[in-house]
Structure 1
Amino acid sequence: MIINIRWRDRKMKHRKLMVFILMIAFAFILTACGTSENEGQSSEDQTKEEDQNEDTSVIEHEMGKTEISGTPEKVVALEFSFVDNLASLGVSPVGIADDNDKERIIEPIRKKISDYTSVGTRKQPSLEVISSLQPDLIIADMKRHKDIYDQLSEIAPTIILPSLAADYEGIIDSFETVAKTMGMEEKGQEVLKEHKAKMEELRAKVPEDEDRTVLPAVVADSGYFAHNMESYTGSLLESIGLKNAIQSGDARYNKINLEQVVEFNPDVMFHMSTGDQTVVDEWKNNDLYQDISAVKNDEVYEVDRNMWSRFRGLISSEKILEDAIRYLYE
Structure 2
Amino acid sequence: MHKKITFLFILLIAIIGLAGCGTVGDEKEKATGDEQESTSSETITVEHELDETEVPKNPKKIVALEFSYVDALAALGISPVGIADDNDPSRIIKPIQEKIGDYTSVGTRKQPSLEIISSLKPDLIIADLQRHKDIYEQLSDIAPTIVLNSLAADYDQILADFEKISVAVGKEEEGKEILTQHKQRIEEIKTQVPENEDRIVLPGVVTPDGFFAHNMDSYTGSLLESIGLKNAIQDGSDRYNKINLEQVVEFNPDVLFLMQAGDKTIIDEWAKSPLWKDVSAVKNDNLYTVDRNTWSRFRGLISSEAILEEAVSQLYGD
| Alpha-carbon distance between aligned partners in 2 of 1:267 and 1:54, rounded to the nearest angstrom | 56
1:217 aligns with 2:204: yes
- Equivalent residue number for residue 266 of structure 2: 279
- Equivalent residue number for residue 82 of structure 1: 69
TM-score by length of 2: 0.87
- Equivalent residue number for residue 102 of structure 2: 115
State the Cα deviation string for residues 149-202 of structure 1 (Å, max 9, x = none): 000000000000010100000000110000000111000001001101100100
- Equivalent residue number for residue 322 of structure 1: 309
Q: For 1:129-144, what aligned pairs fall within 5 Å after superposition?
A: 129-144=116-131
Structure 1 or 2, whichever has the larger Rg, is 1
Q: Alpha-carbon deviation of 1:222? A: 1.9
Q: Alpha-carbon deviation of 1:277? A: 1.4
| Alpha-carbon distance between aligned partners in 2 of 1:153 and 1:184, rounded to the nearest angstrom | 22
- Equivalent residue number for residue 146 of structure 1: 133
Structure 1 unpaired stretches of 5+: 1-43
TM-score by length of 1: 0.84
Matched letter for residue 318 of structure 1? E
| Alpha-carbon distance between aligned partners in 1 of 2:246 and 2:213, rounded to the nearest angstrom | 13
Matched letter for residue 125 of structure 1? P
Distance 1:124 1:53, change over 3 A: closer
Q: 2:148 aligns with which of 161, 166, 169?
A: 161
- Equivalent residue number for residue 99 of structure 1: 86
SS of the residue corresponding to residue 99 of structure 2 reads coil
1:259 aligns with 2:259: no
Q: For 1:174-213, what aligned pairs fall within 5 Å after superposition?
A: 174-213=161-200
| Alpha-carbon distance between aligned partners in 2 of 1:266 and 1:141, rounded to the nearest angstrom | 32
Matched letter for residue 176 of structure 1? E
Give the aligned length.
284
CA contact (8 A) 2:85 2:108 kept: yes
Distance 1:215 1:84, change over 3 A: same
The two structures, once aligned, show a CA RMSD in angstroms of 1.6
Structure 2 unpaired stretches of 5+: 1-30
Distance 1:74 1:54, change over 3 A: closer
| Alpha-carbon distance between aligned partners in 2 of 1:261 and 1:322, rounded to the nearest angstrom | 25
| Alpha-carbon distance between aligned partners in 1 of 2:224 and 2:139, rounded to the nearest angstrom | 34
| Alpha-carbon distance between aligned partners in 2 of 1:125 and 1:71, rounded to the nearest angstrom | 24
1:231 aligns with 2:212: no
Identity of aligned residues (%): 66
Q: Alpha-carbon deviation of 1:249? A: 3.6
- Equivalent residue number for residue 35 of structure 1: none
| Alpha-carbon distance between aligned partners in 1 of 2:75 and 2:276, rounded to the nearest angstrom | 40
Distance 1:95 1:53, change over 3 A: closer
Matched letter for residue 320 of structure 1? I
State the Cα deviation string for residues 31-81 of structure 1 (Å, max 9, x = none): xxxxxxxxxxxxx9xx97xx6699321000001100012310000000000
| Alpha-carbon distance between aligned partners in 1 of 2:197 and 2:65, rounded to the nearest angstrom | 38
